[in-house]
Chain A
Amino acid sequence: MKHRHLLPEEIDLLLDGEEGFGVAPLRNHLEQCPACQADYRALAAVVGGLESLPLVAPSPAFTERVMQQVQVFEPWHVALRDTGSRWMPQSSIGRVFAGATGGVVAVAMTLVAVWLGQRADAVLFLANLVLQRTREGLMSAAHSVALSLFGDSAAAAIQGGGTLALLAATGALVATVLAVAFGVKTLATAGRRRRS
Chain B
Amino acid sequence: MAPILDIRNLPDADLVSLAQEGKEAAYKELIRRYERPVFSLIFRMVRDREIAEDLAQDTFIKVLNHIDRYRPEFKLSSWLFKIANNVAIDHLRKRQLETISIDGSPHAASAAEVEATQMDVVARQETALEEMEAKEIGRAIERAIESLRPEYRSCIMLRHVEGRSYEEIAAMLDLPLGTVKTYIHRARHQLREALGSIRD
- Residues of A whose CB lies within 8 Å of any CB of B are 8-9, 12, 15, 42-43, 45-47, 49-59, 62-63, 65-67, 69-75, 78-79, 85, 90
Given A50-B156, A63-B35, A66-B61: A43 touches B138 (CB 8 Å cut-off): no
CB <8 Å contact, A57 and B36: yes
18 more A-B residue pairs beyond the given contacts A12-B184, A46-B191, A56-B36, with a C-beta to C-beta distance below 8 A: A12-B188, A15-B188, A46-B192, A49-B138, A49-B140, A51-B163, A52-B124, A53-B141, A54-B122, A56-B40, A56-B120, A58-B52, A62-B31, A63-B31, A67-B28, A67-B31, A69-B65, A73-B68
What are 15 residue pairs bridging A and B, where the CB atoms are less than 8 Å apart in the complex?
Answer: A43-B192, A45-B192, A46-B191, A47-B160, A49-B191, A50-B160, A52-B134, A54-B122, A57-B121, A62-B39, A66-B61, A66-B64, A71-B65, A75-B20, A79-B22
- How distant is the Cα of A57 from the Cα of B119 in the complex, in angstroms? 8
- With a cutoff of 8 Å between Cβ atoms, the chain A residues found around residue B60 in the complex are 66, 70
For A63, give the chain B residue with the smallest CB separation.
B31
Question: Beta-carbon contacts of B127-160 to A below 8 Å, as 1s and 0s?
Answer: 0000000100110111000000000000011001
Q: Which 5 A-B residue pairings sit nearest by Cβ, starting from the closest? A: A74-B22, A50-B160, A54-B121, A55-B36, A56-B40
Compute how far the CA of A42 lies from the CA of B122 in the bound complex, rounded to whole angstroms: 26
B27 close to A (CB within 8 Å): yes
Secondary structure dominating the interface of A: helix
Of A56, A57, A67, which one neighbours B27 at CB under 8 angstroms? A67
Binding site for A on B (CB under 8 A): 1-2, 20-24, 27-28, 31-32, 35-37, 39-40, 43-44, 52-53, 56-57, 60-61, 64-65, 68, 119-124, 134, 137-138, 140-142, 156-157, 160-161, 163, 181, 184-185, 188-189, 191-192, 195-196, 199
With both beta carbons as reference points, the residue of chain B lying nearest to A53 in the complex is identified as: B161
Residue of A nearest to B61 (CB): A69
Task: Write the nearest CB–CB distance from A23 to chain B, whole angstroms.
Answer: 16
> B residues within 8 A CB of A66?
31, 57, 60-61, 64
Shortest C-beta distance, A141 to chain B (Å), equals 62
Contact check: which of B61, B156, B196 meets A42 at CB < 8 Å? Answer: B196
Q: Which residues of B contact A8 (CB under 8 A)?
A: 185, 189
Chain A residues with CB under 8 Å of B40's CB are 53, 55-56
CB proximity of A21 to chain B, nearest CB, Å: 20
A73 touches B120 (CB 8 A): no
B residues less than 8 Å from A74 (CB atoms): 21-22
Within the complex, the shortest CB–CB distance from B181 to chain A, in Å, comes to: 7
Contacts A51-B160, A56-B36, A70-B61; A63 near B28 (Cβ below 8 A): yes
CB distance from A146 to the nearest CB of B (A): 68
Shortest distance in angstroms between A98's beta carbon and chain B's nearest beta carbon? Answer: 16
Asked whether, in the complex, the Cβ of B64 is within 8 Å of the Cβ of A49, the reply is no
Complex-state Cα separation, A52 to B131, whole angstroms:
12
Task: Please name all residues of chain A whose beta carbon is closer than 8 Å to the beta carbon of B121 when the two chains form the complex.
Answer: 54-57
Which residue of B has the minimal Cβ distance to A79?
B22
Once the chains bind, are A58 and B39 in contact (CB under 8 Å)?
Answer: yes
Cα of A46 to Cα of B195 in the assembled complex, Å: 8
Contact indicator B191/A58 (Cβ below 8 Å): no
In the complex, chain A residues whose CB is within 8 Å of the CB of B53: 58-59, 62
Report how far A74 CA is from B21 CA in the complex, Å.
5
Q: Which B residues touch A46, using CB under 8 A?
A: 141, 188, 191-192, 195
